[in-house]
Chains A and B, each alone.
Chain A
Amino acid sequence: MAAPADNLLVATQVRKEFGGLVASNDIDFAIPRGSIVALIGPNGAGKTTFFNQITGVYVPTSGSIMFDGVEVVGKPPHAIVELGIGRTFQNIRLFAQMTAVENVQVGMHCRLRGGIFGSILHTPRVKREERESRERARELLTYCGLPRRHEEYAGTLPYGDQRRLEAARALATDPKLLLLDEPTAGMNPQETADFTDFVRRARDDKGLTVLLIEHDMKVVMGVSEHVTVLEYGAKIAEGSPAEIQANERVIEAYLGKGAAA
């Protein structure tokens, strides 16, 4: 791993219990700045639960999550977005009855200032902000591979475009860290390959750090620089993709005991 001083996110002993179920079992986890990190593990390993703790949807039972030197545990989701953590959802959660552009504009919410009086009176500042945010939303949509259909309702877009729109909406929050929850689920091989390129390009263009949950091992091995493996809420391995591929404990978790031999 990179020098500890240059970690964008450091989770220490993060623990989440739902009643008797330990969904996160004292996880230590660090994301080097500028890297693409994959979080993998069998179904029910606690990957999304871990995501939800980073984004403030759940509050950990104990432990700490430092993002860029700031403790995020206990902060509400919107404040964490403001700090610079953007996310997508495993099962697409767009605002179906808003247009693509409006969806992206909601993503910009915490970067815009227009208040209630400015909006009613249409002050020049609010008017300019609205115009600029629309233009930026269109640019972002095009950047994410959605050059058309900007004024269509999100709910009427085809599946692949909805995934692209979700990525654009997450980028609109102006994140330092982008969390992608199974971004290629339901995509065909071509779309998956395009998306992998897109993640790398976005990281380089926008200086992002990316954490993704992924089941498609081709994506994991192709795009990520570090891989962390969870099983039953506990971290069982981490390292480079090649190391993980050779790790017996990981093979065992996925394929069962004896498969490693």
Chain B
Amino acid sequence: MSTQGDVRPGVRSRVQRTWLLIGGLLVLGIVYPLIVDSLKSLPLIGDFVPRTDSMVTILIGVMMALGLNMVVGYAGLLDLGYVAFYAAGAYTAGWLASQQFSQVTVHFGSTVSPDLSGIHLSMWLILILAGVFTTIVGILIGLPTLRLRGDYLAIVTLGFGEIVPQFVRNADSIKGFDLTNGTFGIAPIDSLGIGGFVFREQSNKQDLYYWTAIGLLLLTIFASVRLRDSRLGRAWIAIREDETAAAAMGVPLMRTKTWAYAMGAFIGGVAGAFLASFRAGAFPADFYFNFSIFLLCMVVLGGMGSIWGVLVGGLILGYLNIEGLATIGSKVQQGGLDFDPTKYQFGIYGVIIVLMMLFRPTGLIPERRHKIEVAEGVHDTPFYDVQLEGTLTDRDQSDD
């Protein structure tokens, strides 16, 4: 084993490089609001640097993509209705931190004037409550739907993703009770803040929201890493790999899948409540099917199941969506070409995904496991169905 002596230092320096990279990015991420103005004054690339408030939306989009990644990437459950969790989180913030329910006046740790009617709880508390409420919504949606496999699950989650925005649009008069304020949405929603220090009233409010978003994103990454390498994470991946074998090895399918859904929902709910506070409102127009697909594109572009991949994929697509395409468009038009890429944004994302599938199907930074899937090929067809016992597929006929 003479090679061992040669390999070890190499491994160590690679680990060191990785940590150096992570540390560098972290520092850059934290000081971003302070240096954004200098970055913007750089020649050539300066115009393409996103504003801090755009970055808040991008980072929270990445957070949601990481939540979706637990459902789709880890457990292999194709969820096309993730926007439902975003909506549930945002409306939780709307209900608990605005004048929506002005029939009552409840204050707890809020930053608004105490005589304001409606429920006003501390936004920090609401972030957690929104996560919990959305988890419950996720479990309620999950219990009937997670018995389905593959395409069927995708169709049903798609349905729920459509039901939720329709519901919030129309729930302004449930027997006379106004739950969601219909198409107008709930606004204004309270700001984050501590005691008398209200983020929204500060001159650098976008910086404060930005740092909070970084914190939430770091927590999400941390939980993603820890769960991936845990007993539960192994069970998720086992289900993704071969559901029948997983069940036969003692993995409770329903419970394990529901946990994946619940974790995804929790993250979506917290992110939704945060975004509602940042934008000071929850509007039904934000909760359309497109958004679910957009998040899914982030996951696919980055690499399903890969935390760093989803991070990179999410940042790229988020940037293009919020600012990038518009910036590119204005550059193109300055060049005298009459072309506005923002009009074709979903076409552009579609082309990106198709190109990815052709040239790099495992994503920008593939999950280490997926690398071998493409190289080796994996048998994945279930030859009988655990849930629908007695449902024979053609493979079963030749079995035994």
Q: Which residues of A contact B (CB under 8 A)?
A: 18, 43-49, 52, 55-59, 76-79, 81-82, 87, 89-91, 93-98, 102, 105-107, 109-112, 114-116, 119-122, 126, 129-130, 133, 153, 155-156, 169-170, 172-173
A120 touches B227 (CB 8 A): yes
**CB-CB < 8 A to A94: which residues of B?**
242, 245
Please, which residues of chain B bring their CB within 8 A of the CB of A111?
A: 250
Contact (Cβ within 8 A) B400 A119:
no
Name the residue on A nearest B219 (C-beta).
A120
B238 touches A120 (CB 8 A): no
Whether the pair A95, B245 counts as a contact (CB closer than 8 A) is yes
Q: Is the CB of A78 within 8 A of B376?
A: no
Check: B72 CB closer than 8 A to any chain A CB: no
Give the chain A neighbours of B234 by CB distance below 8 A: 98, 102, 105-106, 109
User: Closest CB-CB distance, B389 to chain A, in whole Å?
Assistant: 5
**Which of B241, B252, B392 is A95 in contact with, Cβ under 8 Å?**
B241
B247 touches A93 (CB 8 A): no
Chain B's closest residue to A99 (CB) is: B369
Q: Does B263 contact A (CB under 8 A)?
A: yes
Q: How far is the CB of B218 from chain A (nearest CB, A)?
A: 13
* Residues of A close to B233: CB separation below 8 A: 119
Instruction: Name B's interface SS.
Output: helix
Q: Classify chain B: how many residues form its interface, as a range.
A: 35 or more
Inter-chain CA distance A76–B253, complex, in Å, is: 9
Complex A-B, nearest 8 residue pairs according to Cβ-Cβ distance, in ascending order = A119-B230, A81-B250, A110-B250, A97-B369, A48-B400, A95-B241, A93-B245, A77-B247
Instruction: Name the A residues within 8 Å of B235 (CB-CB).
Output: 106, 109
What's the minimum C-beta distance from B93 to chain A, rounded to whole angstroms?
24
Central interface residue in B230, B372, B376, by most chain A CB within 10 Å: B230
Which residues 348-400 of B sit at the A interface, judged by CB distance below 8 A?
A: 369-370, 372-373, 376, 378-379, 384, 386, 389-390, 392, 399-400
A97 touches B223 (CB 8 A): no
Counted as pairs of residues, one from A and one from B, with CB atoms less than 8 Å apart, the total is 139
Known pairs A126-B230, A130-B231, A156-B376; A98 contacts B248 (CB<8 A): no
Partner of A106, one of B249, B372, B379, B384: B249
Contact status B251-A78, CB under 8 Å? yes
- B226 at the binding interface (Cβ < 8 Å): yes
Known: A97-B373, A109-B234, A116-B259. A78 touches B247 (CB 8 A): yes
Nearest to A58 among chain B residues (CB) is B389
* Option from B222, B369, B376, B389 in Cβ contact (under 8 Å) with A57: B389
Cα distance A109–B247 in the bound complex, in angstroms: 10
Task: Please indicate the chain A residues that have their CB under 8 angstroms from the CB of B384 in the complex.
Answer: 52, 57-58
B327 on interface, CB distance cutoff 8 Å: no
In the complex, A49→B392 CA distance in Å?
A: 11
Given contacts A116-B232, A122-B226, A153-B369, is CB(A98)–CB(B241) below 8 Å? yes
Which residue of the partner chain, among A57, A109, A169, contacts B244 with CB atoms under 8 Å? A57
Report chain A residues within 8 Å CB of B400. 43-49, 90
B390 engages A58 (CB within 8 Å):
yes
A261 to B244, CA, bound (A): 45
Asked if B213 lies at the interface with its beta carbon under 8 angstroms from chain A, I say no
Evaluate whether A78 and B252 lie within 8 angstroms (CB atoms) in the complex, with A58-B390, A96-B372, A120-B226 already known. yes
Chain B hits for A172, CB < 8 A: 249
Asked if B389 and A89 sit within 8 Å, CB to CB, the answer is: no
Beyond known contacts A59-B390, A153-B372, A156-B376: 7 more, CB 8 A cutoff: A52-B384, A77-B247, A93-B242, A97-B370, A109-B251, A111-B250, A114-B232
Q: Does B246 contact A (CB under 8 A)?
A: yes
User: With A52-B384, A57-B248 as given contacts, are A116 and B263 in contact (CB-CB < 8 Å)?
Assistant: yes
Whether B223 and A120, one on each chain, are in contact in the complex, defined by CB atoms closer than 8 angstroms, is yes
Q: Is the CB of B282 closer than 8 A to any CB of chain A? A: no
Q: Is the CB of A98 within 8 A of B369?
A: yes
Is B189 interfacial (CB-CB < 8 Å)?
Answer: no
Bound Cα distance from A90 to B245, whole angstroms = 12
Interface string of B125-167 (1 = CB under 8 A from A): 0000000000000000000000000000000000000000000
Contact A106 B223 (CB under 8 A): no
A214 to B270, CA, bound (A): 54
Q: How many Å from the CB of B159 to the closest CB on chain A?
A: 26
A sample of 24 inter-chain contacts (CB < 8 A) reads A18-B392, A43-B400, A44-B400, A48-B400, A55-B248, A57-B389, A58-B384, A59-B389, A76-B252, A81-B249, A95-B246, A97-B373, A97-B378, A98-B234, A106-B234, A106-B235, A106-B251, A107-B249, A119-B231, A120-B222, A129-B231, A155-B372, A155-B376, A169-B249
Please, which residue of chain B has its CB at the minimum distance from the CB of A77?
A: B247
| A119 and B250 form a contact (CB under 8 A) | no
Q: Could you say which residues of chain B place their CB within 8 Å of the CB of A105?
A: 231, 234
Q: Which of B248, B369, B370 contacts A77 (CB 8 A)?
A: B248
Known A57-B386, A120-B223; contact A114-B231, beta-carbon cutoff 8 A:
yes
Q: How many angstroms from the CA of A178 to the CA of B11 in the assembled complex?
A: 41
Enumerate chain B residues within 8 angstroms of A97, measured Cβ to Cβ.
237, 241, 369-370, 372-373, 378
B378:A155 contact, CB within 8 angstroms: yes
Q: Please, which residues of chain B bring their CB within 8 A of the CB of A18? A: 390, 392
Report Cα–Cα, A129/B384, bound state, in Å.
33
User: Please, how many angstroms separate the alpha-carbon atoms of A117 and B212 in the complex?
Assistant: 22
Q: Who on chain B is nearest to A23 by CB? A: B400
Cβ–Cβ < 8 Å partners of A79 in chain B: 252
Q: Report the separation of the CA atoms of residues A78 and B257 in the bound assembly, to the nearest whole angstrom.
A: 14
Tell me the bound Cα distance from A98 to B234 in angstroms. Answer: 8
Interface-central residue, B231, B242, B376, by most chain A CB under 10 Å: B231
Q: How far is the CB of A112 from chain B (nearest CB, A)?
A: 5
Provide the residues of chain A in CB contact with B253, threshold 8 Å.
Answer: 76, 78
Most buried by A among B233, B249, B370, B384: B249
Given contacts A78-B252, A97-B370, A97-B378, contact A112 B244 (CB under 8 A): no
Known: A93-B244, A98-B369. A107 touches B378 (CB 8 A): no
Q: Residue on A with the closest CB to B385?
A: A57
Give CA–CA (A49, B384) in the complex, Å: 11
